[in-house]
Structure 1
Amino acid sequence: MTVVLALLAAATALAAGMALVYSAIATFMRVWRRAQSKGYTGPFTPAVFLTAIFTGLLGSAFLGAVLIRPARDVIVGLSMVLGIAATLAGLALTVHLIPARTIRSGSRQRPRTPFRALGNLAATIPPLVMAALLLNGKPATVGIQLLLPMAMLSVLCHSAARRADRIGAPPADPRPAVVWIRGFGNERRLFAFRQRTKGETQTRPELTKLFPRRPDPMPFDDYFAPTITNQLGRGYGLGNPRDYLPPDGIDRHYATDDSWRHQFADLVADSRCVVMAPGDWPELRYEFGVIRNLGAHRRLFIFTPPATKARQIRRANLLKGFRHENWDDLATALGDDCGYQLGPDPGPGAVVTFEEDGHAVVLLRGAEEPSDYVAVVLRHLADVERQTPPEQ
């Protein structure tokens, strides 16, 4: 009986600890995303956040271990929990009080951070430290310990430099665009699991160094980017004006705050099709209205996430600070006065488009791979093109 009670107590403590860790990470991610939504997106922001967390953790451990009750591990653990909670509360209050940065009104500029120089510097630090230690007759232990963190930092800096080079670069693909619409606040919401292609790992070598070769949870644009590029067209979309660097995935056009509506209409008019996932964002009704006015709603496709590992995706999104959004959220946000009739939830793995009168049509259910979605889109676009009379 004593053994059973001890096991139950240990299991309860473990579950409580995991719940606390999960809550702390989710709170941290929500505060971080709130700071990003206010325009604090540069490399300085994560450095401040992580420094605050480690300072709170170490400070509370020192307080519990030295100043309060040195002999009680429970007191030390409790003080660390309270320290992290106080640190997160302080970060949340700070982010709530700081003013939002003004959105730029001019053309997009390349960040001034010298990412390549920092990456090269990080790569040279470990061998220099080892050489200095060996020349002074000391073991090179410190230099060896620096190899892994400096290598990761170097890879991330060179990845940031590659992303910065994409700002203002003309599209290399002359094909009509496959326009992706979404809310900027939900841009990195996870959509589904997919194994990265060999082309992706060649273009982005940091993936092979930081992540193993296995299916990874990905946002919408990352999930579909290779298949859309290979089979459908050039993935494209308006970029978040608060981006410090363009995310990987589809190409992004950074319009100014006073011109994005006109440029969005031009982008949709010249596109091959428009794709999206169910969601809710402030510009949703306006963008759907533009698509309907241009007669492009028959080339609008809504993809619902596949059923495979849907629970893991939902938990990961909650951990990242994204609330769950589904078909009902889209229907509520769109309303009944925009000329669309969405109908009931089509279920997982669905491809939904619209007839001429705005009624939704489910083209596919149960899709599991990006190619399943894109194959249906290609067939439907071929039908639309056959039914569209040629321009005089």
Structure 2
Amino acid sequence: MTVRVVLGLLAIAAAVAVAMVLCYSALVTFMRVWRRAQAKGYTGPVTPLILTMTVFTVPIGATFLGAVLIPPNAGGIIGMVFGVVAALAGLALAVHLVPVRPIRSGRRRRPRTPFRVLGNLAVATPLLLMAVLLLNGRPATAGAQLMLPMAMLSALCHSAARRADRLDALPPVDPRPAVVWIRGFGNERRLFGFRRRDKEETRERPELRKIFSRRPDPMSFDEYFAPAIAAELGRGYGLGNPRDYLPPEGIDRHYANDDSWREHFADLVAEARCVVMAPGDWPELRYEFRVIRELGAHRRLFVFTPPAGKARQIRRANRLKGFRHEDWDDFAAALDGEPGYLLGPDPGPGAVVTFEEDGRAVVLARGVEEPAGYVAAVLRHLVEVEHPEGTDRRSTVDDR
């Protein structure tokens, strides 16, 4: 009897483990398909709606057919598995076959989607449904169950409306030179680290006030550093992805077309106080580093490696979002043989790396856990660059 119980528990544990692996694989595949669709220009709200509805409706239909055509106790499960596989395979094939949408160049136009109206309707819908049910003498359970998902949908809609407002708003006046951010457009939503939002951020984004005010939030590179850099160095600025439907959170973006982005990038770097980035690999990386070197701005170029705290959670979340893990070795391989740069070995987590006049990588700090620590290392180095008579106590990457 005891052996049967143990074997039964082991079988249940194995089934749960297999189910978790399948769910994880399905989610990763779905996110990769979604990101592929975004890369081809399908970035509006209709695309995720179609993808999500397909993933949910196809498995339901397959489950029904499986229960009818396959003997009981196994038909539903087999139908669901084949439905999910068919839905994901069909989506991947469809996204592969759809043509690339033309790039919208120049100044961004405000999207025509009425985000605020949709957000207000999402809030009103469960309340109206509850009122109708109560007036007809029925329990309002269905309306109450809709309140949480509709509240989340309303928050997303109002957040999108606020981001759309930024397209028409003039950038804030800041007499300081800008801080230029460089990154691959495909990496903009890659998570970098955890940070607690400050009062100014929750004031500007009221939908996050009650959700993230008491705990750190996983953030992209832009969101993670934007407040600290804006407070101590200068307003963050960078080129925007011409395929953006709405500008992402974080820094101000300048949208240039395919013919002029190189000229705009050179102008931004030439006038910037410094350039910041995270290690990674993207198609334009070599060109951007070449321009920085030609302009003599490599001593004002700073590479931030992710902090060690919660690094595993960040890697898992990035895999779930469909991002391949990238580290210093990928960054070094992407720049292998690029004249004027000697990167050296991995400086470790929480590092601030810049470059000497001859292109040697120099570690300014290691083991940093907060944005303020990264910014403090940058400020110390900028003082040395602006006042070269100061004492240089830095260590090169090769000194490890």
Partner of 2:40: 38
Equivalent positions of 1:338-357 (< 5 A) are 338-357=339-358
Aligned partner of 1:189 in structure 2 is 190
Residue 10 of structure 1 aligns with which residue?
Answer: 12
The residue number in structure 2 matching 1:257 is: 258
Letter in 2 for 1:244: Y
1:100-111 correspondence runs (5 A)? 100-111=100-111
3-state SS, counterpart of residue 339 of structure 2: coil
Structure 2 matches for 1:90-239, cutoff 5 A? 90-174=90-174, 175-211=176-212, 213-239=214-240
What count of residue pairs does the alignment treat as equivalent?
386
Shift of 1:173: 4.0
Instruction: Please state whether the residue corresponding to 2:218 is helix, strand or coil.
Output: strand
| TM-score w.r.t. length of structure 1 | 0.94
Report Cα offsets for 1:181-227 as digits up to 9, x if no partner: 01001111111122222222221122235557322221111111121
Contact 1:41 1:242 in 2 (8 A): yes
Deviations 1:34-89 (A, max 9, x none): 000000000000000010011022112222234433x31x3311210111011000
Q: Do the aligned partners of 1:173 and 1:234 also contact (CA within 8 Å) in 2?
A: no
CA contact (8 A) 2:299 2:385 kept: yes
Q: Deviations over 1:96-132 (max 9, x none)?
A: 0111101123432111111112222222223333333
Give TM-score scaled by structure 2 length.
0.92
Range moving further from structure 2, 122-131 or 312-321: 122-131
Note the C-alpha offset of 1:247: 0.9
RMSD between aligned residues: 1.7
Q: Which amino acid aligns with 1:115?
A: F
- Following superposition of structure 1 onto structure 2, how do residues 280-359 of structure 1 map, counting pairs within 5 Å? 280-359=281-360
Unaligned runs of at least 5 residues, structure 2: 390-400
Alignment CA distance shift 1:9-1:160 (3 Å): same
- Distance in 2 separating the partners of 1:209 and 1:55: 33
Structure 2 distance, partners of 1:83, 1:211, is: 36
> Following the alignment from structure 1 to structure 2, what is the Cα–Cα distance between the partners of residues 15 and 133?
42
1:241 corresponds to 2:242: yes
Cα gap change, 1:256 to 1:319, in 2 (>3 Å)? same
Structure 1 portions without partners, runs of 5+ = none
Separation in 1, partners of 2:255, 2:38: 17
- Classify 1:95/1:298 alpha carbon distance in 2 versus 1 (closer, same or farther; 3 Å): same
Is the Cα–Cα contact under 8 Å of residues 288 and 338 in structure 1 kept in the other structure? no
Q: 1:356 to 1:252 in 2, by over 3 A?
A: same
**Does the CA-based 8 Å contact 1:303-1:352 persist in structure 2?**
yes
Deviations 1:145-165 (A, max 9, x none): 332222222221111010001
Alignment check: 8 A CA contact 2:59 2:79 kept: no
What code does the residue aligned with 1:172 have?
P
Evaluate the alpha carbon distance shift between residue 251 and residue 54 of structure 1 in structure 2; reply closer, same or farther with a 3 A threshold.
same
Which structure 2 residues correspond to residues 267-286 of structure 1 after superposition, within 5 A?
A: 267-286=268-287
Q: Give the Cα separation in 2 of the matches to 1:320 and 1:216.
A: 16
1: CA distance, partners of 2:61 / 2:307: 45
- Counterpart-to-counterpart distance in 1, 2:377 and 2:329: 23
Partner Cα separation in structure 1 for residue 322 and residue 9 of structure 2: 33
**Identity across the alignment (%):** 72
Match for residue 20 of structure 1? 22
